[in-house]
Amino acid sequence: MAGRVEDKVAIVTGAASGIGRGCAELLAREGARVVLTDVNEEQGREAAKAIGGDAVFVRHDVSDEASWRSVIDATLARFGRLDVLVNNAGIIIVADVESTTVEQWRKIMAVNAEGVFLGCKHAIPAIRKSGGGSIINLSSAAGLIGTPLFAAYSASKGAVRILTKTVAAHCREKGDGIRCNSIHPGGIDTPMVAQITRSRNANIADIEELAAPGRAVGYGQPADIAYLVLYLASDESRFMTGAELAIDGGLTAV
C-alpha cells in the first residue's frame, strides 16, 4: 500500500531533533524521500542514518542565503525535484522586551523569520518546476498571542504567520499549484524546551506558566505536530492554503 506522501521529495529544516526529526521520520515512513538539514551535523547525520532508506543529511544554516542555495541544489541534484518544504528550524531566547538586547533580537529574527523567508524564496522555483507542492512553516502559539518572557521569539513567529499568508497569496496568483500554511504549536516536549528548563532551574510546568501566565494546558509531543505536517504535505490538503493551524491543547482558545 502506497504511503500518503509516496515518492514526494521533502526538505525538513531543524531536523536533527525535536519536532523536525519527528516530521522527517513520519514523512519518510509514509513514502517521502527526505532531506534533513540542521546546524548540528552530528545529530543530523545520526537522524538520517536512523531513518534509513533515501534519507540524507545536509548541514544548513537557515539564516544564510548561500546555504539555502546549496541545500536546494543538493536536493535537486540527488532527487531531481522538490515537492515539500518544512521550515521548522528555530531558536528561542528567554527575555522580556526590556531585557532583550539588539543582538539577541537580530539573532532570533535572522533564524526564525529571515530563515523562513529565504526558504520560501528559494524553494518556490524548485517546487514550481516539479509541478507544485506544499510549503509548511512552523510558527508558534507565541505568534498568535503575546508571551511576555519571549519577546523576540513571539515577534519572529508572528512574522512567520503573516509571511505564510503572503506566500500563499503570491503562489495562488501565480497559479503554480504551491500551497503554504503555518502550524502554531503550543508547548511541545523537545530539546529546546528542555534547554530552557535547565537554564532557569525549572520544570516544564514552570516554563509553561512563564510563557502564558494563567493558561497552563500541558505539553504535547513532536508526533502531534508531525501528523499535521504529514497532512499538509500530502495531496489530502490540496485545497488548503494560507491557513494558520494551532496545535496547542487549547492554549490560544481562551
Q: List active site positions.
A: 153
All residues at 6 or more sequence positions from 34 whose CB lies less than 8 Å from its CB, including other chains = 9, 10, 11, 12, 15, 24, 27, 28, 48, 51, 54, 55, 56
Distance CA 227, CA 23 (A): 8
